[in-house]
Amino acid sequence: MNLGIFALAPRGYWNSSGPFPFPFTCFSRPSHRLTEAGVVIDYQRGLNHLLETTDAPIWLLGHSLGAAAAVQLLHRVSLTDPKGDVRYKRIRGMILENPLPSIRKMVKVLYPSPYVPYHYLGPFVRDKWDTIKAFESSHHSKNSIFSTIPLLVLQSERDELVPPSLTRRVYEAAIGKPMGLKNDHLIGKNVIQRYRSIPRALHDDAYTKPRYRLEIFQFIRDTISSHGN
């Protein structure tokens, strides 16, 4: 299987331009500010670049906050392109590795004690990165792109940051129902949805495990064949 990787660094990451450092952040140009909306726009521009310069099938892969960004990217595509650009049909699947459920939920995970003031700050965050809400809202839209794109959710068995219960919650929001004892589901017109646990993996090292590579290989292989290629 011959695959290429396109990794885009959004504003504020790596060599991409971004906001001024603190305490001068407020003087940054709006187009350079590191916000959820800005990052998603950057990723959409990157996706559009791929769609315009190649005719190859595309799989989106995101880890942790990057997984939340991938979901918000497709959510934005659904909102800004309600008629459905045929180019987006070349997106053959989305792979979410230990996805963040939302910043609000993660605040309570990181500060579980109700006696710590940080425990209550979740509702006040500006950038929500609400993966669960994006999936749930898609079930009420006839034009949602999520109903046409296969999904693979990978959960590190020993994730020390995102609790496995919340990763499962993300997956259940995607399929629109409790997953029960099944790890494979179909939605829409037989669109593959999978949930897999990577044994002995932590939040940031799942990619070092053989099971990780095997699951991604099988998912790509199966989603290629499901499109007749």
Tell me whether residue 18 is in a domain.
yes
Residue 109 lies in a domain: yes
Domain shared by 145 and 45, yes or no: no
Q: Is residue 210 one of the residues assigned to a domain? A: yes
Q: Helices 131-138 and 65-80: crossing angle, nearest 10°?
A: 30
Asked if 104 and 188 sit in the same domain, the reply is: yes
pLDDT of residue 229: 44
Average pLDDT per run of 10 along the chain, which is 229 residues long? 90 76 69 85 94 94 97 89 74 97 96 94 94 92 84 98 97 92 82 95 97 97 69
Residues 6+ apart with CB under 8 A from 13: none
Strand-by-strand arrangement of the 58-63 sheet: 58-63, 91-97, 151-156, 191-198, 184-187
23 upstream amide cis, omega within 30 of 0: yes
Residue 214: the pLDDT is 97
Q: Is 38 found in the same domain as 89?
A: no
CATH number where 107 lies: 3.40.50
Q: What is the pTM of this model?
A: 0.90
Write out the residue range of the structural domain in which residue 20 sits. Answer: 7-54
State the pLDDT at residue 145: 86
Kindly state whether residue 2 falls inside one of the protein's structural domains.
no
If asked whether residues 68 and 123 sit together in one domain, one would say: yes
Hey, what are 19's tokens? 């906001």
- Residues 105 and 185 occupy one common structural domain: yes
Residue 197 CA to residue 158 CA, distance in Å, equals 9
Please tell me the distance from the alpha carbon of residue 45 to that of residue 55, in angstroms, as a whole number.
Answer: 16
